[in-house]
Amino acid sequence: MVTSSHEAAHRIFQERPELLSPVFRVLGVPLPDKAAVEVLTGDATEIRPLERRVDSVLRVESSDGTTFLLAIEAQGRRDPDKAASWTYYLAFLRAKYDLPALLLVVCRDRATAKWATGPFLTGIEGWTALSTHPLVIGPDNIPVITSPAEASKNLALATFAAMTHGKDRDITPILDALATALGTVEVDTADYFTELLELGLGDTQARNTWRNMMSVGTYFPGRGTIVEESYLKGKTEGREEGRAATLIDVLEMRGISVSEETRERITSTTDSETLTEWLAKALTATAEDDLFTKEQPPAEAPGGHEQSPRRSP
């Protein structure tokens, strides 16, 4: 059965095709930034009872007129059966659609990524009939993004990078950068990437860290994610109450002591915009008072020049 992390690793390419250009640049494969992407069926079954299914299949038509198929497989471990399966997928897609076909394998650990590069040979000793060379993306060639500004440039890439590096020991700066970037975008977009990353991180400590950082909305019902739990809780207890609890959790997770006075101020606030503003500040705050400070507008200095902004308590 397909797991949530498995699904997220390839589904992100279907739903966020803008991820293809930076990933192809990492792999050294030319692809124009502007390309039309169509999701095709992953069913590669020809006759029963043999059934084969590719995780994702995309038809990519670049702005220069080049059209090809991209089969995407999420691979969590070495699997000797994949040598035959992957060769079959490429041959089947080439024959069915009469288009060139490539295979992209997404891995979250270095050993699997090294194995997945192949090549996988079909034939007998001394004679190779087919040679399959997958494109492989993994921790060694996906960039580590720890800058919120960099994460904001391409949220799909930042989310995918966080998934890929989910087993890294120093994952927290990566998650912090993405969380800060998501705090600057519209709610629906933040909701989507928040939950997609939780699913993509799978059963890792990084997932627990991420669960303590973000909350709101749901895109994957019935999976038991923290976003869904918060959403359902909000249906019965009120969304604002859920956000207040999340805000306190984020502060404590980041090692910031929360006084009883601050806790009371947060939990008694019912204004959604105020809680959202405080939650965004909590991601970078160094003390609880940082939540409640406000930027003063720049004052005009003598001579018409603006003075540097000051923070008021």
234 CB-near residues (< 8 Å, 6+ apart): 241, 242
Local confidence band at 133 (pLDDT 50, 70, 90 cut-offs): very high
Q: Using a pLDDT cut of 70, give the percent of the chain over it.
A: 77
Site of tokens 């580590």: 144
Q: Which CA distances in Å does 271 have to 214, 240, 280, 284, 292?
A: 18, 7, 15, 21, 14
Mean pLDDT of the chain: 78
Q: What is the mean pLDDT of residues 8-20?
A: 77
pLDDT of residue 227: 55
Q: What is the mean pLDDT of residues 244-261?
A: 81
Q: Going from the N-terminus, what domains does the chain have, and what CATH number goes with each?
A: 4-137 (3.40.1350), 148-292 (no CATH)
Summarised one tens digit per residue, pLDDT across range 135-158 is 999 999 999 999 988 998 899 999
pLDDT of residue 217: 46
Q: What is the mean pLDDT of residues 276-293?
A: 82
Summarised one tens digit per residue, pLDDT across range 154-205 is 999 999 999 999 988 888 899 988 988 888 888 788 888 888 888 888 888 8
* pTM tops 0.85, yes or no: no
Summarised one tens digit per residue, pLDDT across range 15-50 is 787 777 788 788 887 666 666 777 775 554 444 434
